[in-house]
């Protein structure tokens, strides 16, 4: 019986030792994945050309802000003191057209030609006729102008199709004094002008807002301060006289304009952007699960049958009866 117990125990110890040794052995992990090569796709980019030609047209209303009427006497006439009591000039309507070139998305240049319709002019002058006598003359005329400007504009950025801009222009103004008349008050004297014209230097300041209806078509609402020189004419007396000269100088106007601008579309081929150099992308390494050996079932030794041992049972001793 003792030898059987020893044999069972030896076998159990050997099995436990082999399981522990297997658990201590290093586990073989799978090799990490190789880095993969990835490429950026080829890109097609449609770029707007750096420059483009355009046409523009506009209409507007001009309000004359200054008109100085100056009397220039003929040196052959006797000196006379002339005092301007009143001088006023009416508003005008104008329209124009032009062509220009956009250098980029913020700088453009154009040239414009503009016709300003006749603007009425009237003035009242008084003079001393001697001996306390004061006479007056009423003057009426029309002023019309042709304006030629070379302009530069700076676009200040675009937000929701709206582009504010500012600009400056220089050029010339061809001004005409038309239908100029002189009527003597309380006298029969009168005279007429010669419809004289003059070419003057002109300059302008621009500010406005453009609305981009499409990529090539825009609407413009703009303000312009225009200075367009002067004009003078002589009055020829009906009865004959040495003609005096009258000059309307420092002509300026506050202009409000509504215009359109058409940009010539330019077909530009798409630009191919080459792919970026190959990039090594390291994929995340998946860790292999660590092998865990199954639990070792250690056999328990079978119980050894032991026959029950006989134990004598003692009977109680009763005292002997004392009765006979």
- Residue 292 within any structural domain of the chain: no
pLDDT of residue 85: 84
Q: State mean pLDDT over 245-260.
A: 94
pLDDT of residue 180: 92
**pLDDT single digits (tens) 303-324:** 666 666 656 555 555 554 444 4
Contact 97, 126 (CB under 8 A): no
pLDDT of residue 38: 61
Q: State mean pLDDT over 177-184.
A: 90
We report the CATH number of the domain holding residue 253 as: 2.40.160.20
- Residue 291 within any structural domain of the chain: no
Structure tokens at 178: 């038309």
What is the spatial distance between Cα 226 and Cα 205, in angstroms, rounded to a whole number?
Answer: 7
Our CA dihedral for 191, 196, 201, 203, rounded to 10 degrees, sits at 70
- Residue 41 within any structural domain of the chain: no
In the chain, what percentage of residues exceed pLDDT 90?
45
Q: State mean pLDDT over 275-300.
A: 58
**pLDDT single digits (tens) 143-175:** 999 999 999 999 999 999 999 999 999 999 999
- Residue 121 within any structural domain of the chain: yes
Element (H, E) at 192: strand 190-192
**pLDDT single digits (tens) 194-208:** 999 999 999 999 999
For 23, the 3-state DSSP assignment is helix
Closest of 62, 65, 170 to residue 118, by C-alpha: 62
pLDDT of residue 51: 80
- Residue 37 within any structural domain of the chain: no
- Distance (Å) of CA 133 to CA 127, 130, 136, 186, 323: 9, 5, 10, 12, 198
Contact 219, 244 (CB under 8 A): no
pLDDT of residue 140: 93
> How many residues are recorded in the chain?
324
Full-model pTM: 0.67
Q: Tell how far CA 270 is from the center of its chain.
A: 24
- Residue 207 within any structural domain of the chain: yes
Structure letter (DSSP) for residue 275 = P
What is the spatial distance between Cα 117 and Cα 144, in angstroms, rounded to a whole number?
Answer: 6
- Residue 237 within any structural domain of the chain: yes
Ramachandran category for residue 179: left, alpha or beta (phi over 0 → left; psi -120 to 50 → alpha)? left
- Distance (Å) of CA 246 to CA 135, 180, 235, 249: 18, 10, 8, 10
What is the spatial distance between Cα 262 and Cα 260, in angstroms, rounded to a whole number?
Answer: 7
Residue that has been written with the tokens 């030629």 in this structure? 148
For 247, the domain range is: 50-272
φ and ψ at residue 150, rounded to 5 degrees: -105, 120
pLDDT of residue 223: 98
Q: How many domains does the chain have?
A: 1
Q: How big is the chain by its Cα radius of gyration, in Å?
A: 56
Concatenated DSSP letters for 52-73? EEEEEEEEEEEEEEEEEEEEE-
Residue 297, pLDDT > 60, answer yes
φ and ψ at residue 10, rounded to 5 degrees: -65, -40
Residue 58, pLDDT > 70, answer yes
- Residue 107 within any structural domain of the chain: yes
Closest of 101, 99, 102 to residue 111, by C-alpha: 99
CA 238, 239, 240, 245 torsion: positive or negative?
negative
């Amino acid at each position: 019986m003792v030898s059987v117990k020893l044999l069972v125990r030896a076998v159990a110890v050997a099995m436990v030792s082999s399981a522990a040794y297997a658990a201590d052995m290093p586990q073989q992990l799978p090799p990490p994945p190789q880095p993969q090569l990835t490429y950026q796709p080829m890109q097609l980019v449609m770029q707007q050309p750096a420059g483009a030609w355009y046409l523009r047209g506009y209409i507007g209303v001009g309000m004359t802000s200054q008109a100085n009427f100056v009397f220039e006497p003929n040196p052959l006439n006797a000196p006379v003191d002339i005092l301007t009591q009143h001088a006023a000039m009416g508003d005008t309507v104008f329209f124009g057209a032009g062509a220009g070139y956009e250098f980029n998305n913020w700088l453009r240049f154009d040239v414009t030609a503009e016709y300003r319709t006749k603007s009425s002019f009237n003035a009242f002058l008084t003079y001393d006729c001697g001996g306390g006598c004061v006479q007056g003359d009423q003057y009426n005329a029309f002023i019309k102008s042709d304006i030629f400007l070379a302009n530069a504009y700076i676009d200040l950025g675009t937000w929701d199709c709206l582009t504010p801009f500012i600009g400056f222009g220089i050029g010339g103004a061809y001004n005409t004094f038309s239908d100029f008349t002189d009527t003597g008050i309380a006298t029969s004297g009168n005279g007429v002008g010669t419809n004289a014209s003059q070419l003057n230097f002109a300059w302008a300041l621009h500010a406005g807002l453009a609305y981009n209806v499409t990529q090539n078509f825009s609407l413009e609402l703009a303000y312009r301060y225009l200075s367009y020189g002067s004009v003078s004419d002589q009055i020829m007396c009906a009865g004959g006289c040495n003609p005096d000269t009258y000059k309307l100088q420092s002509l300026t106007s506050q202009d409000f304009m509504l215009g359109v601008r058409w940009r010539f579309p330019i077909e530009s081929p798409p630009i191919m952007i080459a792919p970026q150099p190959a990039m090594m992308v390291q994929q995340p390494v998946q860790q292999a699960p660590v092998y865990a050996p199954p639990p070792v079932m250690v056999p328990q030794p079978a119980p050894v049958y032991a026959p029950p041992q006989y134990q004598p049972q003692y009977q109680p001793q009763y005292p002997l009866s004392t009765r006979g």
